[in-house]
């Protein structure tokens, strides 16, 4: 028997959550819900409706049916059939949806755009899986924080990390976004960045600060990390640790990976659905040591990076696995993570 999952909000993240669930052998995607005939919903139709579409609101149903879409039911119909909802609605909507989840007694996993207060646990599959076990409401860390914690947790479990200072060079829009964008401008945010603060919430034994700067690109954030390990570690040892992580790709400039756009191109050339990449990349050429500090740069493919950790969250919430490594291994196996090393 498989776990039944629904997705609220079929946008950039929702589509990828649905695909991710569909790839898990021990899960079944019941359907997805949205409120309007967006491009993503139109693409679902053109593909022949591989997923059932539910109307997330009553008005949404009218809008979708007026546009000729086959609607399988109301939002409550979807929620009623699932064991857990993945909520990737626009920020704030998830909190409203939670009332429905509560009423129908269903668990839910929210994405990073929602307020922390929506959930019992602020979750990361590798860093604090145990905290999510059996929880009713979990919230995933944001795309940047998810990728960042992968790298920091990897170091931390091996050699201990005392503190980190990060600079987030943020992509300001996703491909196809017209509602936000920057033109020939870098934009500075108030420090410390929420990602540094969030890291300390998930990994309370690590000190963190950081600055975020928005940049006019769409194919991946780049984060530079200055990490102070608890014990001295050589650059080659650190590289070896990262190389073993199933959700990290260690890449090099001389292979042709020159920046975030190279990774986007590579994922397309791999034939990945939507040209997505679940893994963060870490440039070996940027891994340097200064005193005891390690510095390195990672690439965060913002559209897909949280999918694996969200699958982990389902596993935790429903106690599909009680062990962190068994859970992440199951997710990795189903998403093909780590497999690429064998070729």
Residues recognised as catalytic: 143
Residue in 19, 307, 315, 280 with CA at minimum distance from that of residue 140: 307
Nearer to a second copy, 11 or 80 (CB): 11
Nearer to a second copy, 204 or 271 (CB): 271
Binding of a second copy by 270 (CB under 8 A): yes
* Contacts (CB under 8 A) with a second copy, residues 57-96: none
Give the range of 237-245, 281-289, 308-316, 322-330 binding a second copy by CB under 8 A.
281-289
Residue in 178, 137, 163 with CA at minimum distance from that of residue 294: 163
Over the range 223-249, which residues count as b (16 or more CB within 10 Å of their CB) and which as e?
bebbbbbeeebeeeebeebbeebbbbb
* Contacts (CB under 8 A) with a second copy, residues 240-269: 253, 255-262, 264-266, 268-269
In degrees, rounded to 5, the angle at the alpha carbon of residue 149 between the alpha carbons of residues 294 and 191 is 80
Q: Which two tokens stand for residue 170?
A: 């943020």
Instruction: Transcribe 139-196 into DSSP letters.
Output: EEPPHHHHHHHHHHHHHHHHH-EEEEEEEEEEE-S-TT--SS--SS--EE-PSSPHHH
Nearer to a second copy, 80 or 192 (CB): 192
How many residues bind a second copy (CB under 8 A)? The answer is 86
> Rounded to the nearest whole angstrom, what is the least distance from the CB of residue 111 to a second copy in the complex?
18
- Torsion over CA: 264, 267, 268, 273 (sign): negative
Binding of a second copy by 274 (CB under 8 A): yes
Contact residue for a second copy among 77, 120, 285, 333 (CB under 8 A): 285
> Rounded to the nearest whole angstrom, what is the least distance from the CB of residue 58 to a second copy in the complex?
22
Nearer to a second copy, 25 or 47 (CB): 47
> Rounded to the nearest whole angstrom, what is the least distance from the CB of residue 23 to a second copy in the complex?
13
* Cα separation values, 214 from 183, 321, 327, Å: 11, 38, 34
Contact residue for a second copy among 25, 99, 178, 204 (CB under 8 A): 178
> Rounded to the nearest whole angstrom, what is the least distance from the CB of residue 320 to a second copy in the complex?
27
- Torsion over CA: 183, 10, 274, 284 (sign): positive
Contact residue for a second copy among 25, 117, 188, 204 (CB under 8 A): 188
User: Distance between CA 67 and CA 96 in Å, rounded?
Assistant: 26
Q: List the x/- string, 14-43, binding to a second copy by CB under 8 A.
A: -x---------------------xxxx-xx
Q: By three-state DSSP, how is residue 296 classified?
A: strand
Q: List the x/- string, 294-313, binding to a second copy by CB under 8 A.
A: -xxx----------------
User: Distance between CA 238 and CA 242 in Å, rounded?
Assistant: 6
Residue in 284, 231, 226, 227 with CA at minimum distance from that of residue 255: 284
* Cα separation values, 18 from 58, 124, 169, 227, 255, Å: 22, 19, 28, 35, 33
Binding of a second copy by 215 (CB under 8 A): yes
Contact residue for a second copy among 56, 149, 152, 169 (CB under 8 A): 169
Nearer to a second copy, 58 or 186 (CB): 186
> Rounded to the nearest whole angstrom, what is the least distance from the CB of residue 131 to a second copy in the complex?
24
Nearer to a second copy, 45 or 230 (CB): 45
User: Distance between CA 7 and CA 71 in Å, rounded?
Assistant: 15
> Rounded to the nearest whole angstrom, what is the least distance from the CB of residue 323 to a second copy in the complex?
29
User: Distance between CA 203 and CA 156 in Å, rounded?
Assistant: 10
* Contacts (CB under 8 A) with a second copy, residues 194-213: 207-211, 213
* Contacts (CB under 8 A) with a second copy, residues 93-132: none
């Amino acid at each position: 028997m498989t776990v039944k999952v629904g997705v609220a909000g079929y946008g950039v993240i929702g589509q990828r959550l649905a695909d991710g669930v569909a790839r898990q052998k021990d899960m079944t995607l019941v359907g997805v819900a949205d409120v309007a005939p967006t491009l993503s919903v139109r693409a679902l139709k053109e593909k022949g409706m591989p997923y059932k579409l539910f109307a997330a609101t009553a008005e949404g149903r009218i809008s979708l049916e007026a546009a000729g879409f086959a609607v399988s039911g109301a939002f409550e119909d979807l929620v009623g059939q699932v064991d857990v909802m993945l909520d990737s609605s626009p920020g704030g909507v998830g909190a409203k949806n939670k009332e429905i989840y509560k009423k129908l007694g269903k668990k839910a996993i929210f994405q990073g755009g929602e307020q922390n207060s929506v959930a019992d646990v602020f979750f990361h599959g590798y860093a604090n899986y145990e905290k999510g076990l059996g929880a009713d409401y979990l919230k995933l860390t944001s795309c940047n924080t998810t990728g960042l914690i992968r790298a920091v947790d990897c170091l931390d479990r091996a050699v201990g990390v005392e503190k980190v200072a990060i600079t987030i060079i943020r992509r300001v829009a996703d491909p196809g976004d017209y509602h936000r964008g920057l033109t020939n401008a870098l934009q500075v945010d108030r420090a410390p960045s929420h990602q540094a603060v969030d890291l300390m919430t998930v990994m309370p034994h690590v000190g963190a600060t950081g600055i975020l700067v928005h940049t006019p690109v769409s194919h991946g954030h780049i984060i530079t990390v200055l990490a102070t390990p608890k014990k001295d570690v050589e650059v080659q040892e650190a590289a070896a640790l990262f190389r073993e992580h199933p959700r990290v790709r260690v890449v090099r400039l001389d292979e042709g990976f020159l920046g975030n756009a190279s990774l986007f191109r590579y994922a397309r050339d791999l034939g990945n659905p939507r040209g997505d990449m679940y893994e963060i990349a870490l440039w070996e050429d940027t891994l340097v040591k200064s005193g005891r500090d390690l510095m390195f740069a990672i690439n965060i493919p913002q559209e897909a990076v949280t999918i694996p950790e969200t699958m982990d969250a389902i596993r935790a919430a429903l106690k599909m696995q009680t062990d962190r490594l068994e859970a992440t291994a199951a997710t990795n196996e189903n998403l093909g993570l780590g497999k690429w090393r064998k070729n």
